[in-house]
């Protein structure tokens, strides 16, 4: 009798272990799926190395899909390498992304402009990155700016088309502030108008060039 009870106990115990292992394996699989799902929803991140330090930027792909896709296309082409911050306005913003680090600085050719996504609900708050553009709201190409303070006047409102926010600085805001503090002056530049190049004069150009050495997706090979 005892041997029968013992045998039953062994069968039940082994069955319990098998169920526990299956449950644990399923939990592990569910956890893995959850982690994969989380990872798939993560926003793209880029690393911007400048002559004054490194800035890490998260891009809001869901809110600004057109702008992020456009920006990343230039990142993947290494377009921003050896460009400069050509406009630094104190306690306002730092603008770059369009001019080579030459003397004088020279505007690079771009792809066609994109639609202005300033209706996405994102605000031009401190540390956000937005697309620079001409008076035409749908004229942005490669130039961006990082807001140094909350710039409410750059948000869409009423008759103001606004400027499209498409990301934010998640590391290196101190570098942004450092760039904003550099001495600036009036300087010559070579701008583009269609296929033509013309000499212009810019205000707020850093006296010593602030160079964007590279912009890469986080984790990408150099």
What number of other Cβ atoms are within 10 A of residue 132's Cβ?
Answer: 19
Average pLDDT over residues 56-80: 98
Work out the average pLDDT over 52-77: 98
- pLDDT tens column, 112-147: 999 999 999 999 999 999 999 999 999 999 999 999
In sequence order, the 6+-apart residues with CB closer than 8 A to the CB of 186 are 201, 202, 203, 205
Q: How confident is the model at residue 221 (pLDDT cuts 50, 70, 90)?
A: confident
Average pLDDT over residues 20-29: 47
Answer yes or no: are the C-beta atoms of 145 and 151 closer than 8 Å.
no
Give residue 41's pLDDT band: very low, low, confident or very high (50, 70, 90): low
pLDDT of residue 195: 82
Percent of the chain scored above 90 by pLDDT? 77
Q: Supply φ then ψ for residue 200, to 5 degrees.
A: -130, 170
Question: Confidence band (pLDDT; 50, 70, 90) for 32?
Answer: very low
Least confident of 11-25, 103-117, 165-179: 11-25
pLDDT band at 4 (very low <50, low <70, confident <90, very high): very low
The per-residue DSSP string of 160-185 comes to B----EEEEEEE-HHHHHHHHTS-EE
Q: With 60 as the cut, is the pLDDT of residue 30 above it?
A: no
């Amino acid at each position: 009798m005892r041997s029968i009870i013992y045998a039953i106990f062994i069968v039940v115990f082994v069955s319990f272990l098998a169920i526990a292992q299956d449950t644990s394996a399923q939990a592990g699989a569910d956890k893995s799926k959850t982690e994969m799902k989380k990872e798939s929803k993560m926003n793209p991140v880029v690393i911007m190395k400048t002559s004054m330090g490194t800035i890490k930027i998260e891009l809001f792909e869901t809110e600004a899909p057109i702008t992020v896709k456009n920006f990343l296309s230039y990142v993947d082409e290494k377009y921003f390498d050896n460009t400069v911050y050509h406009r630094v306005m104190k306690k306002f913003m730092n603008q770059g992304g369009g001019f080579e680090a030459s003397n004088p600085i020279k505007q690079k050719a771009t792809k066609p402009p994109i639609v202005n996504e300033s209706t996405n609900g994102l605000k031009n708050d401190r540390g956000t990155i937005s697309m620079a553009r001409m008076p035409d709201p749908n004229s942005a190409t490669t130039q961006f700016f990082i807001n140094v303070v909350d710039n409410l006047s750059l948000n869409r409102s009423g008759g103001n088309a606004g400027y499209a926010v498409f990301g934010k600085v998640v590391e290196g805001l101190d570098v942004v502030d450092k760039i904003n503090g550099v001495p600036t002056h009036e300087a010559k530049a070579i701008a583009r108008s269609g296929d033509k190049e013309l000499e212009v004069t810019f205000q707020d150009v850093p006296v010593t060039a602030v160079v964007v050495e590279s912009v890469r997706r986080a984790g990408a090979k150099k």
